[in-house]
Structure 1
């Protein structure tokens, strides 16, 4: 691997979405209000209905999210990606195989933890 002199770009406020057939798990990470240098995160679940996706966009906007990264198998990502992109978010679609195989990062889906998913909106 060749080393480059490109500047490192850090995204201050972002969201990660795990997309399934009928639901989404969304995690927002942002700077902590009271602890400089620390980050806080909040996780919510949404259904894939249009009204729920619009509520998701509002929630992301309320946290000043600038980048949304998502992973999904099949074509379930399309409605989420296109709606959030139309709402003005920068969206990245990530290969689920690559995300799950990052060294030092355990898989933390609700199903893997034995926690049944439940929809919020």
Structure 2
């Protein structure tokens, strides 16, 4: 089966895997090697996540809406990035 290629709409994005105590962030994009880091879910750690994402040039962040753990992460990141809450 042939692979379908889709146009890249977001130059640099991040996917978050949100857990109760940690957030695993993977960034990738044009001219950006894929990188993954893990952050704690305390506000000061999420602020470090914001800084790291900004340094990587990330504009869009997607996270799954599992349980309620995504909500505090969303509220801390809101205003810094285009946020997408998606169904896994």
Give the TM-score band, short-chain normalised: 0.7 to 0.9
- State which of 47, 63, 78 in structure 2 corresponds to 1:54: 47
Question: Is the Cα–Cα contact under 8 Å of residues 16 and 61 in structure 2 kept in the other structure?
Answer: yes
TM-score scaled by structure 1?
Answer: 0.63
Following the alignment from structure 1 to structure 2, what is the Cα–Cα distance between the partners of residues 19 and 72?
9
Q: Which one has a bigger Cα radius of gyration? A: 1
- Superposed CA RMSD: 1.4
- State which of 56, 61, 80 in structure 2 corresponds to 1:63: 56
**Which segments of 5 or more consecutive residues in structure 1 lack a partner in the other structure?**
1-7, 33-38, 97-121
- In structure 1, the partner of 2:83 is 91
TM-score scaled by structure 2?
Answer: 0.86
Question: Is the Cα–Cα contact under 8 Å of residues 19 and 77 in structure 1 kept in the other structure?
Answer: yes
Question: Is the Cα–Cα contact under 8 Å of residues 20 and 72 in structure 1 kept in the other structure?
Answer: no
Quote how far apart the aligned CAs of 1:9 are: 6.3
**Which segments of 5 or more consecutive residues in structure 2 lack a partner in the other structure?**
1-6
More strand by share: 2
Q: After the TM superposition, which segments of 4 or more aligned residues of structure 1 sit over 2 Å from their partners? A: none
